[in-house]
Chains A and B, each alone.
Chain A
């Protein structure tokens, strides 16, 4: 811990390599005590409503575990299934030695001032773990909720799918209806062990003046599968993240899907980077970006380090009503025998598609929204239907604003 603190201290002022710099002093990190609840139902209706927008169900129906953090405090944490652990990270760090084997093992604490802050001023976060061989039938839900104006919420999450296990997580970040500005710093480390399967679906539902700096890295071992879905379709002031995944075992597979909507004044810079380090590994990065006046940078980077790997990057952008989309797909083949490809397209809605649908009886507006809806619906093989439904719901909710 001491070494981590020292490293973090040195990085306190270190600017991130991407994204507008944030003056951390403008945001308070002060702890905001909230009462712990025994039952999620005890949350206020207003809070519940906001959480539902980010895919979090207070009735816990069809969920096998839940973690809820309000501002700086973990207010609810529970596993309803054997073989599944859901623990606030501060508690886990105190109680279990094994957490040290994962804490800051993938993300470097001195990456930038945001990682440093998450070490020096950690609020909480979750550890979600599926024990070896266990199949967590229903998704686990986790919510990081912001209520206090001007707060910097610093969290650290660790997600472990042990050997042969299957784990699905839906995590929502949401803000209270009245909240305008704040900062969210979120460290996430993903461990997908041998032959394990992990799906992680993150729905962000921020406020107009929010600054967001997630920092996440994952590792997938032999035969493992990691599905990472990211949906951010609501206004946000500045969001920058570039999650990295290491495919470190034979036959490991990772897919990263992102759906982004850039509202006026939003600055979004989201990418995915994957290192294909072992034979037969497969990587896929798919992003769909729509802007309505915001600025979006959609990055992707596939790095093939051994022969017999395959990766594909797909990046599509739609400029609906002003704004910019900058697609930056990168491929790095470092040896003979890698197969990497990408397709990128940025444009407006094709007029011939609108006319085609109009000739089938739709009005121009109906045709346009049908095309936008289609644009945002990507097939994600291996994702449980209930999570697919949550993504569809998030898209439907925002469709109105997009149009």
Chain B
């Protein structure tokens, strides 16, 4: 379980998040909406532990531990993983090696890559010259290899071409253990109970909602979380009346 309590975050000399309360229970996936610049990426980076995002008040708990001041790699070890909106490229580091790092050398890289149609990129330097959509597939592949318990997705579908969008959507759904109907040997109820993976997904386009069944949606507006409802509902509101109106209705 992830619990965020009254969190305040500063980036440089700017307060970018205020009074954030968020709880993601075991097995739950939440969707995060919000206009550009509202602080969505900042929230995910803070949960992941990027040091430039300074927590000035509040706490973050994960799996019962206070992780507010834990280093990034300790959080990764504890089971938090992130798919980035704009990851850096690293010259000379092959995508294959990156996947090995993610899986702690425990995976069949080719087999994983095949799942997201990424075989032909394995021998290229990670993210170097990748298109927007290729970056998203590479990030997803890294998370598949890493297999964390809390998955943070920063706009996982933006820039992905139509051909691959279903592939990505379904892969995310699978990674979050939400494709329960596809398994047959256990009852649906039992699977739901056993579901451990947690997700927090930022979406701009809402496409991802066609593939991933999420439990909750939230709107981040001007550094504050508002409007806790079903994601599809929220998305419809935003489309119909815009963010400002949507947030006003909630408050």
Contact = CB atoms under 8 A, between A and B. Distances in A.
A358 interface: yes
B11 interface: no
B88 A360 contact: no
Given A355-B50, A357-B101, A370-B101, A362 B90 contact: no
Nearest to A378: B92
B90 A358 contact: no
A374 B73 contact: no
A316 B90 CA distance: 13
Contact of B76 (A359, A370, A375, A377): A359
B29 to A, nearest CB: 20
A361 B73 contact: yes
Main secondary structure of the interface of B (DSSP, over half): mixed
B87 interface: yes
Nearest to A372: B92
Contacts, number: 61
Interface string B161-192: 00000000000000000000000000000000
A355 B87 CA distance: 10
Given A362-B101, A370-B101, A356 B76 contact: no
A361 B88 contact: no
A350 B77 CA distance: 23
Most A CB within 10 A of own CB, among B50, B73, B88, B98: B73
B91 A374 contact: yes
A350 B90 CA distance: 9
Nearest to B99: A360
Contacts of B72: 355, 358-359
Contact of A356 (B71, B75, B88, B91): B88
Contacts of A107: none
A358 B50 CA distance: 10
B57 interface: no
Interface of B: 48-51, 71-73, 75-77, 81-82, 84, 87-88, 90-93, 97-98, 101-102, 104, 125, 142, 146
27 contacts: A316-B91, A355-B50, A355-B51, A356-B84, A356-B87, A356-B88, A357-B90, A358-B72, A359-B49, A359-B72, A359-B73, A359-B76, A359-B81, A360-B98, A360-B142, A361-B101, A362-B73, A364-B73, A370-B93, A370-B97, A370-B101, A371-B93, A373-B92, A374-B125, A375-B91, A375-B92, A376-B92
Interface of A: 316, 350, 352-353, 355-364, 370-371, 373-378
